[in-house]
Structure 1
């Protein structure tokens, strides 16, 4: 008689155990949310006179697709980034720390607009931040 009671207690414990933490991709809202964020972010960059010149000749639809892929892959989503590495993609552009900081500000503006919680913002910036060494000219 004890075994069914112990089994029921054990099942109850497993049923109430917290689920494995969701990926950042999931917590950000998945693919549709990433597309919306990237669309808004790219619009911010286009309006930002400090850096929009770097994107004057860019294929914007392709850029958006690559950004979504990159963020999706970096946050644990099902995507595979198909673009060039950051060093190659930004070689010879003359991007400085001030430009990179402007880009981050534009992203933060978008994240605030979409009310992305601070924890997720910090995690996302921690994933994207290390790219600075490959993007900024030394």
Structure 2
């Protein structure tokens, strides 16, 4: 019985999402700058954050998604190439990308002339972590095991 309880506890911990390093409350304030281009709307189209802008992709459920793969959005070719090469958005990738999208793609693709359509940059890693923590709230619930 003890072994069964210990196994359940280990599995529950392993299945739990990792906590974001940032502060979601601070990230919400910073996201006011991001909502000029981005929105967060669930699968039913309900707006959860942002003003409904469609210049950038919808950020609902972005984490765990292959880069450049949201159906119906026209991404830059280099971001699509990074996704095709295996780039999946997680905290580390997101934090690095939003600080300098062009530099991130150049390094990620090992392509000195890589271009990012997103020109906006967050000032530092702490600010990017805050935005990540805020956006991480807007993900569909994981499927039941």
TM-score (norm 1): 0.31
Return the structure number with greater strand share.
Answer: 2
TM-score (norm 2): 0.30
Q: If you compute each CA radius of gyration, which structure gives the higher value, 1 or 2?
A: 1
Return the structure number with greater helix share.
Answer: 1
